[in-house]
């Protein structure tokens, strides 16, 4: 059975999500809250999970991958203090949900995905939703995307045992990176800042992401 709801119901579910899961838990960046109130998360969910799109948990998207829980997405975007003029690199496009949020919040987004099928669906959906400042690249995100470096912000949506050195070298002066680091079942978000050529690392929330896997393919 498929679930179908009116756009008005979806926007009301989205408002409730932003209020109870994000604002009340301390997400303060008004631009992040507004973007999460605008982007239709249900469009990024597979049809059979659409009725759960605004619930407080991750959702499966195929290929053993997931769209992160709304709160964790908000924590990452909030920590980055994104400016409308920022150039952003995302590793792990997945469904394209976070890519759409980044496209709302910044000037340009390059997003890398190692699974061709996920990259293609995300690319198609982002085009339908008219996000024109986004480029989805099929590739290995552990190498970053040096062609367009340096970046003002880097978002890594898959967990690494160590921070990939290539990503650090692609951060511009004043650049920020948010990345989950740790083993399969124990990870913590790290907020990395490049200031005066020096790296500052802050430990943030505990989290659980799918692994960052080097190389391209299944």
- Decide if 184 contacts 211 (C-beta within 8 A): yes
Q: Pick the closer one to ligand SAH by CB: 171 or 178.
A: 178
Report if residue 111 touches ligand SAH, rule: CB under 6 A. no
Measured between alpha carbons, how far is 123 from 109 in angstroms, rounded to an integer? 12
Question: Strands, DSSP E only, in the chain?
Answer: 59-62, 65-67, 87-91, 108-113, 134-138, 151-156, 171-182, 187-195, 198-207
Single out the segment in contact with ligand SAH by CB under 6 A; choices: 19-27, 89-97, 124-132, 180-188. 89-97
6, 68, 121, 157: which is the annotated catalytic residue? 68
| Residue 210 is a binding residue for ligand SAH (CB under 6 A) | yes
CA distance 204 to 110: 25
Task: State the DSSP code for 159.
Answer: B
Query: Which of 106, 142, 170, 187 is in the footprint of ligand SAH by CB under 6 A?
Result: 142
Cis omega before residue 34 (within 30°)? no
Q: Does 104 bind ligand SAH (CB under 6 A)?
A: no
- 98 lies in the site for ligand SAH, by CB under 6 A: yes
Q: Give the Cα separation of 165 and 63 in Å (integer).
A: 27
**Whether 11 is catalytic:** no
Which of residues 38 and 200 has its CB atom nearest to ligand SAH in the complex? 38
**Rounded distance between C-alpha atoms, residue 90 and residue 65, angstroms:** 16
Contacts with ligand SAH by CB under 6 A: the residue count is 25
Task: Return the residue of 141, 144, 175, 180 that touches ligand SAH, per CB under 6 A.
Answer: 141
Q: Least Å distance between CB 213 and ligand SAH?
A: 4
Nearest to 20 by CA among 67, 73, 56, 59: 56
Task: Return the active site residues.
Answer: 68
In the complex, the residues that contact ligand SAH under the rule CB under 6 A are 61, 65-68, 91-92, 94-95, 97-98, 112-115, 118, 140-142, 157-158, 210, 212-214
């Amino acid at each position: 059975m498929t679930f179908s709801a009116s756009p008005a119901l979806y926007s009301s579910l989205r408002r409730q999500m932003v209020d109870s899961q994000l604002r009340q838990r301390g997400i303060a960046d008004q631009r992040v809250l507004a973007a999460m109130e605008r982007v239709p998360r249900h469009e990024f969910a597979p049809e059979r999970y659409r009725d759960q799109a605004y619930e407080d948990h991750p959702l499966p998207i195929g290929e053993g991958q997931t769209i992160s829980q709304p709160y964790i997405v908000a924590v990452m975007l909030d920590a980055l203090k994104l400016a409308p003029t920022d150039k952003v690199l995302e590793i792990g496009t997945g469904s394209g949900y976070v890519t759409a949020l980044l496209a709302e919040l910044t000037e340009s987004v390059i997003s890398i995905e190692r699974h061709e099928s996920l990259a293609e669906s995300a690319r198609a959906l982002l085009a339908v939703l008219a996000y024109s400042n986004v480029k989805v690249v099929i590739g290995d995100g552990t190498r970053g995307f040096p062609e367009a470096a340096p970046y003002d912000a880097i978002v890594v949506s898959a967990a690494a045992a160590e921070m990939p050195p290539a990503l650090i070298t692609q951060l511009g002066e004043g650049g920020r990176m948010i990345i989950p680091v740790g083993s399969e079942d124990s990870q913590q978000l790290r907020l990395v800042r490049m200031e005066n050529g020096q790296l500052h690392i802050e430990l943030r929330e505990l989290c659980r992401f799918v692994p960052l896997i080097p190389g391209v393919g299944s």
